[in-house]
Structure 1
């Protein structure tokens, strides 16, 4: 807050506003607003006129360029301007309250930029992207990429729009389970496509958790798997037709066999499948111990040759190992048909076969189809699907590495044990390490030796507890310089809650670290000076009140002395750039009294003498009292009066230098006497008592009928500095 008082809008502000003043403080305290802020006067002046008229004005997130830390920068504030009234109810000033919103404005700007990057990332992808409300009732957004119709405004009828009625029960059940477990939603289901057709999608969505641990939305992708589903459906349909055809053939062939052996043989020969008839061979106990060929069709004979009458086990012993012999026995004994896919790698056969067997007399009739090519095609489909998945995984890994190399922080990814397995280019470039050097505990070599143990303990503790890690540490740059970084590492868990890896990032905070240290030093110095200044002000008020009482004279003298003190503070504020000299201090006080008309009767003489900052304040107040009395009561009140101020420096004890100053007024018309002769004035109290105590000075004050003589002998060297420091 800052109060702008009077017509000049004199500034009086609190500590919060002081931070905004930057290098304008402390000159700005007591300074007219227009002189202090010329760069924004064109903005403020119209507002001040409105407030003087009695209006209160508030401006949200206004842009106000201000100079602080030595340069002009943009800053945003919410400001309220309101009138300040005096005891008579008249507007006598303006109260301005400011709340700086620069951080929020910049954060919102950064958020918009982040959203733009998100949009660019989404645009670069191939899958549809959608965002759902925490309860899945509303779809916030869907980018369909031509596969699904886009949603740009929140939509609550998304299920009616995209999900078929007969599929909604399954979809809703999977959604409910994902919400209950707060885990990944994953489902392959049908959808209505953007062109109105029915397609298939593989949909996955993850919950996005806010700072309070609650789900704020679900972010998901939907891949078009229509072609694959169509291919699988066509494959199943083909298999069903194939099975149906085989069963039909078996039924027809069995009927024909019962009717006529010759007709059966002819029918069997017409099939491209191998059709065979076996008769059971039993032992004395009636147990089936073998099968004997009775019939083969032409396709079978082309593979086996003429085998009628031969033993199945002797010709093809592999049927026992593959379970074919036991299957034939079961069909023969139970009468139940058998249908199976078998892998046969024995004798002269190697491949996949689809075989059906039915009971025929005391044996079986079989139909066997070579499906090796079909199986190979099926395996190829699975291989291609796995290859696509692996390609997508590699693409995802490449995107991660590219993203990690682009963002302006040092990133890495570690396995479950915390050992590095990936690092981005900024880390390697900054530290000068190779990827191999950063593996295992090698990354600790880039940490400052004083920070290494703390970093190792923090990371080991975090990994042990599976908790996020945050630590500030110095990291060595490739040129050997160490800079401060804020380092964080977080665990990544899968849908089952198992730890899979660690993701880490390090952000450069070196400049912020140094700024905080400098700020602490400046605050301590400001507090020291403020305490000293307040003590001086209290002393001035007390001494003035003793001399004048609470009268108009008190206000005048107190204001004059405060003005003198303000001028001293102005000199002190520039002391780092412009040393304070004795002549500058004397000239400042004389100019402040407006005595240019008496310049020919004022004589100043002395060499350049630099003053210590600790002695300037007390010496300035003493010179102010002498100059004020000269102007109001002394040599400058008469036409023939003359003021002479001379000084020089000379060695003291040891290496200490001392200042010798003489203030002489001649031509005083009458002696200056206080109303109470038993009490000395404030000026004499200051010169004869305060200066010897505060500055270790030797003073002399002699007032005659027509002449005033005052001398000040004070140290300039080491002893005075020691007292100042004490």
Structure 2
């Protein structure tokens, strides 16, 4: 063992004369005395000789550092521990200046137990001086603190893990209640919540003092819950409000368990407190939002409904029951089919399936069974709500009773059909009169033929507007409409229609027909179509879901150029294009002719 190697006689046998320290007999008395003291001590000690710091250590140092450092006797400390040379040099130099130093929990990388490891030490460097203050060496006291450092680190880590666990669970503090003394101790977080200092919380406070912070309406509930736990040992759980020193109200939830002594008596309660203020505020806000939402939904005169991603209806407002008289929770696919008019069901089913599959807006009119036993017309509209991944999560829709508007529409259709019948008869009557007149006056035959063609074109234009013309069996287009309206005026091929064509939606046909008719009649009265030499060109362009028209008249009559454009026709164009069609237009009159530009959404 190294111990036998560093007994006083071994130190005396060492060839100190070959070192900077010189023979032992020449060492100063403080140095020799310190060496004897260190070698005989049971505590790890070493003497560092001279500024070079030659090592004389006892057996306890050997056991502390291990066999790897057994040959350190008489060697400079900087050579034995090269990684800490600068640290040792600075401490030795301070000692030779008469200044000792100590270091707590100093880490050191060392080879021990067959591997490199980090250990921590308490190290004290003390100058060894004679009565004149002359320093000849350093007394080194060493004690290992690795165990306490690691224990402290584990405790700190455990505390951090506890803090993380408390935070993750929404727990803001821990407490202990001494049942006999009615004294509560707590951590800093609990103390802060209840307006106490951390030291006060650790020292403890009478529980009755804390009870005064509890909301007056909740004190009895807290007191009864604590008493029940102390009496029976059941877990303590209580939700209550406290009033802070700033006058704020905060919601808390306490949870605790009883701790019994050897006899089974309950001596302590241990628990945690959770601050529920934000959660309660969120719950109140959610409840208020739901109340306002349901109030709004129930005030809407339409049936409001929703369906899940599988198209299963899962919500209806009260209008559903008022309309159908049925319990919506008992609806299934078979029930839906019975509620929709048999003639409408195939169309409804197909359209709903297409929208569910594609996510397109759902908009359809069909007849639905009323609680009276009669079918009533509904307009049903719905839109999908998509999640962050773009997938449809739900459908929200409304069903509006349009029975009365449908009845009015049918009434209007009947009147329009009757009017159409009479207009058709008028056209036939006028055409017959023209034919008879032409037979009586052969000279007017050419005029009568032109007049009949114009009359026939006017009739076709009227049928186009009414949706009776053959073009309505296919797609309606803006150019087809323009040709139908202008055909009565194009007896010499002087009207040119060109450019892009676009299919018209039903609601655009009539207002556009009025616009074309107004422009054509104005041209026939005052513009290019009023003279034999005039010409008219219509150029259509389509872009960004809009249709643009350039209406250009050449060889316009002078009276058209003098018109101020402020009459009924201008008002009709403004009302139709800007207000009804949500478009815009402009007119320009020059000596060369008239230019009309229009842009409408299509």
> Where on the TM-score scale, by shorter chain, does this alignment land: which range?
0.3 to 0.5
Q: TM-score, normalised by structure 1?
A: 0.34
Q: TM-score, normalised by structure 2?
A: 0.41
Q: Whose radius of gyration is greater, 1 or 2?
A: 2
